[in-house]
Amino acid sequence: MSLSLRIHHARSRGSTSTVPAAFRMTAAIWVLSILLIAEFIMAPINLWTGRTMLNFTRFTGYRPQLARLGFAPVKLLTAVLIAIGLAVRFAGLLGAALTSAICVLYLVRLAAPGRRDGAGIAGFTLFGLWAVALLALQLAR
């Protein structure tokens, strides 16, 4: 059936959208996944090279060794899980949940007196919202 016929049938059933809901959900999953993959691939590289180590220690109060040996590999794992999640739903769920947990941890640490940084709070709130949205979409798919 041609696209124009599908649009006509959708409108005759009372739908106002010309784009199927499944396509919109898939597109949202892809967009959120790509954004989070990009962030969580670069974050470990920046920690390993020391580029963002000062921010990490200031935001979290943790030692640099924990960033290199703990946070960096886990962040990279989340990027891999989210990427696999584009094809395998369960991996996407795990990646989005882990990303959400990481963002919450950062936000909790940033809430401590002396660690409040507007850029850090804004960044991890944004990444956390993306991760929660991705988790909700993966659950609904």
Q: Where are the domains of the chain?
A: 21-140
Render each residue's pLDDT in the chain as its tens digit; 141 residues. Answer: 565 655 556 566 665 667 788 899 999 999 999 999 999 999 999 999 999 999 999 999 999 999 999 999 999 999 999 999 999 999 999 999 999 999 999 999 999 998 999 999 999 999 999 999 999 999 998
Q: pTM for the full model?
A: 0.84
DSSP collapsed to 3 states, the chain: CCHHHHHHHHHHCCCCCCCCHHHHHHHHHHHHHHHHHHHHHHHHHHHHHCCCHHHHHHHHCCCHHHHHHHHHHHHHHHHHHHHHCCCCHHHHHHHHHHHHHHHHHHHHHHCCCCCCCHHHHHHHHHHHHHHHHHHHHHHHC
